Amino acid sequence: MRLKDKVALITGASSGIGRETALLFAREGARVVAADVNDEEGRETVALIEKEGGAAAYVHADVSKAADCKAMVAFAETTYGKLHILFNNAGIMHNDDGDAVSTEEAIWDLTMNINVKGVFFGCKYGIPAIRRAGGGSVINTASFVAILGAATPQIAYTASKGAVLSMSRELAIIHARENIRVNALCPGPLRTELLMKFLNTEEKKQRRLVHIPMGRFGEAREMASAALYLASDESSYVTGTEFMVDGGITAAYVTPE
C-alpha cells in the first residue's frame, strides 16, 4: 500500500477528481477526510470508501471561508490524529465566466474566492498541521489553462488557475526544508461535470477535442493516479512542479488528424 498510515484531507471530494482520489487514496491505505459543500454527495464518497473496507470521514467546508478551512483541518487532526496529505482540489468554473468585457465582477469574485482563496486557506491552516505531523505533501489543483490561453473565454477561471500555479511554486520553496512538498496538479480537459456543464453543446466539445493530441477528454481517475504519485513517498524529490496530466495538450503545436 502506497499511503499506509497516512492521513489525507481532500477538498471537493463529493465529485469528479476529488471523489476518485478519495477512493484511490483509501484503497492505498490512507485514512481520508472528505471536505465539500455538497454534503449528500460527500457522505456518499465516504460510504463508497467504507463499502470497500476503507476509513473515511466527511466534513462540510466551504473553502472560500477561513473558519470552515480552519475547522476542516482541526477535524482531520481530531478524527485521525495527524495530517500528512492536503489535496486542495475544490474549484468552480462558472457558466457566466466569459471574456473580460462580458464577465460580471461578482463572477470574478466568486471564482477567485473559491479557486484561489480556497487554496490559500487550505495551506494557511493545513501546512501547520502537516508540520506537526513531521512533513508531508500538498497538492493544489491548477489546470493546463494556467499556462495556455484559450479562445473559449473563461477569464476568471484562467486567472485563478494561474494564481494557484504561482502560489504553489512559492509554497514549495518556502517549505522545502520542512519536509513539506508542494506541487500543482495541472489537469487537461476532463470528462467531469465541471467541464461538461461548461462545454454544453457538441460543437463546443469538438472545438476543445481538436486540440488534444490523444483525441479524448481525460478521466477523473487518471488525475487521481497522478495525485497518488504526488502524495506518496515515491515523489520524495518532487516539489514545485506543474505536473501536467493533459493528453499532450500543452506539448502540441499541431495535433494528429
Ligand X SMILES: NC(=O)c1ccc[n+]([C@@H]2O[C@H](COP(=O)([O-])OP(=O)(O)OC[C@H]3O[C@@H](n4cnc5c(N)ncnc54)[C@H](O)[C@@H]3O)[C@@H](O)[C@H]2O)c1
CB of 137 or CB of 192, closer to ligand X? 192
Minimum Å gap between C-beta 119 and ligand X is 9
- Binding to ligand X by CB under 6 A, coded x per residue (else -) over 136-155, reads -----x-x------------
Residue 243's SS3 state is strand
Q: Which stretch binds ligand X (CB under 6 A): 7-15, 79-87, 98-106, 120-128?
A: 7-15
Phi/psi zone of residue 211: left (φ > 0), alpha (ψ -120 to 50 degrees), beta? alpha
Segment 206-245, which members bind ligand X (CB under 6 A)? 220
Grid cell in block for residue 118: 480556497
At closest approach, how far in Å is the CB of 199 from ligand X?
Answer: 9
Question: Least distance (Å) from ligand X to the CB of residue 32?
Answer: 14
Binding mask 182-201 for ligand X (x = CB under 6 A): -----x-xx-xxxx------
Number of H helices and number of E strands within the chain? 9, 7
The span of 10-18, 22-30, 174-182, 224-232 binding ligand X (CB under 6 A) equals: 10-18
Active site residue 80: no
Q: How far is the CB of 28 from ligand X (least distance, A)?
A: 19
Q: Give the CA distances from residue 256 to residues 151, 200, 202, 222, 251, in Å, rounded to whole numbers and listed in that order.
A: 20, 25, 20, 22, 12
C-alpha grid cell for residue 240?
A: 514545485
Q: What is the DSSP string of 33-88?
A: EEEES-HHHHHHHHHHHHHTT-EEEEEE--TT-HHHHHHHHHHHHHHHS---EEEE
Residue closer to ligand X by CB (options 131, 204) is 204
Query: How far is CA 57 from each of CA 50, 174, 209, rounded to the nearest angstrom?
Result: 9, 30, 37
* Strand 242-245 versus strand 85-88 pairing type: unpaired
Nearer to ligand X, 127 or 220 (CB): 220
Q: Are strands 136-141 and 242-245 parallel, antiparallel or unpaired?
A: unpaired
Of the residues 24, 57, 58, 64, which one makes contact with ligand X according to CB under 6 A: 64
Q: Which of 58, 125, 157, 253 is catalytic?
A: 157
Residue 16 touching ligand X (CB under 6 A): yes
CB of 22 to ligand X, least distance (A): 11
Please, is 32 exposed, middle or buried when counting C-beta atoms within 10 Å of its C-beta (0-12, 13-18, 19+)? buried
Query: Using CB under 6 A as the criterion, which residues of the chain lie in contact with ligand X when the complex forms?
Result: 11-12, 14-18, 36-38, 61-64, 89-93, 114, 141, 143, 187, 189-190, 192-195, 220
> Known catalytic residues?
157
